[in-house]
Amino acid sequence: MKVRALGIETSCDETGVAMVEADEGGCSLIAEELATRPEVHGALGGIVPELTVRQHLEILPRITLRVREKAGTGDFSVVGATSGPGLAPALLVGLAFGKALAWAEKSSFYAINHLEGHLYSPFVSRGNWPVYPHLALIVSGGHTLLVDAINPRERSIIGTTRDDAAGEAFDKLARMVGLEYPGGPAMEKQAYGGEVGNYVLPRPMKGAEGCDFSFSGLKNAARLLLEKHPELAGPGLARSHFCAEVQAAIGECLADRCCRALSQTGRKVLTLSGGVSANQAVYRSLEEAARRSGAKLLAAAGGWNTDNAAMIAAVTARRALDHLAPNWETDADPRWSVALNS
Ligand code: KG4
Ligand code: ZN
């Protein structure tokens, strides 16, 4: 059996629509559209819910048409929309749009967990279905999670952040030194030519019990550094050194927690997804951590690491292939956990 699934993603500031074609052998992307307004969010220093919702409302119909045109026939048998976790009003727009579209096209509908999309992306970005068991690190602007994915119906959270998410730390530290939003990519660019160790930041939770993370201490340490070295907030080599140190600190913390989680669970595959996984220094730290732990690192391929609708379409297709009951009644759940126990 082959299915064509349309996925809709509106959990945060990205508006995404994608179509995939899938069977038991794997899943391939047919067409995708992704839109965001970094200039709007950047100018305001972050995401403004009402502007984000208006952006989704305006963009969704247009990019859905475009995806259907690009896909050729435009037909699909199932629609899936992100219904959590995320920004409630933004989720509601995508969910209502997805249900209406599925109803009008007489197709079935699934409410999809955004984080399950992130769990899928390292595999489906290569055309494959997830392999179990595996340990997953999701590092984005809203989440820093270590998930033990035992099988498709059973997964548990074994590590989470006690305060800021890793991406949030990148964004906040970047802002402190005058870099634009989103801070992670700006910081990675600025780190070229910089060296680790010239301005020292702590490695919060490194060596601590358990697998939790904490990044808020980096802000306080950076504040003290900035008081002493105001030149860090302007263009130049000093800021490059600072950015290289931030990447190293966050990368080392993530790597340390992953090593613990790998030894605790005995998993041999570590997956990596979410916006922060685009960072090369972070990637190298995790690759090294996996190697030291006798595991293989599988990161979401380019374009699939940040928020996208292709991963939502892929989870939707899997639901249809597994003949799961459609869930028209599911409401938006801003705090929907990725943990699953059935
Ligand atoms: O997964 P994502 O697109 O959206 C969610 O938050 O769900 O992740 C966005 C986050 C932002 O905090 C952004 O600064 C960070 O990922 N990010 C990066 C890089 N690209 C995106 N952080 C570090 N280095 C990057 N190259
Ligand atoms: Zn995300």
Residue-range domain boundaries for the chain: 3-125+304-321, 134-299
Task: Quick: pLDDT tens for 93-141.
Answer: 999 999 999 999 999 999 999 999 999 999 999 999 999 999 999 999 9
Task: Quick: pLDDT tens for 239-268.
Answer: 999 999 999 999 999 999 999 999 999 999
Q: Is the peptide bond prior to 49 cis by the omega test (within 30 degrees of 0)? A: no
Lookup: tokens for 260 = 């613990």
Task: Quick: pLDDT tens for 62-84.
Answer: 999 999 999 998 899 999 999 99
Strands 154-160 and 144-151: antiparallel
Architecture of domain 3-125+304-321: 2-Layer Sandwich (3.30)
**Is 80 exceeded by the pLDDT of residue 45?**
no
- What rounded mean pLDDT belongs to the chain? 96
Of 51 and 129, the one with more pLDDT: 129
* Bridge partner list, 5: 20, 78
Question: What separation in Å is there between the alpha carbon of 140 and the centre of ligand 1?
Answer: 5
The answer regarding whether domain 134-299 maps to CATH 3.30.420.40 reads: yes
- Residues of the chain with pLDDT > 90: what percent? 92
Nearest ligand 1 atom, CA 273: 1
Question: What separation in Å is there between the alpha carbon of 287 and the centre of ligand 2?
Answer: 21
- The pLDDT value given to residue 37: 73
Q: Is the peptide bond prior to 89 cis by the omega test (within 30 degrees of 0)? A: no
171 lines ligand 1 (CB under 6 A): yes
218 lines ligand 1 (CB under 6 A): no
Task: Quick: pLDDT tens for 292-334.
Answer: 999 999 999 988 999 999 999 999 999 999 999 999 999 999 9
Asked if the domains 3-125+304-321 and 134-299 are classified in one and the same CATH topology, the answer is yes
Question: What separation in Å is there between the alpha carbon of 140 and the centre of ligand 2?
Answer: 6
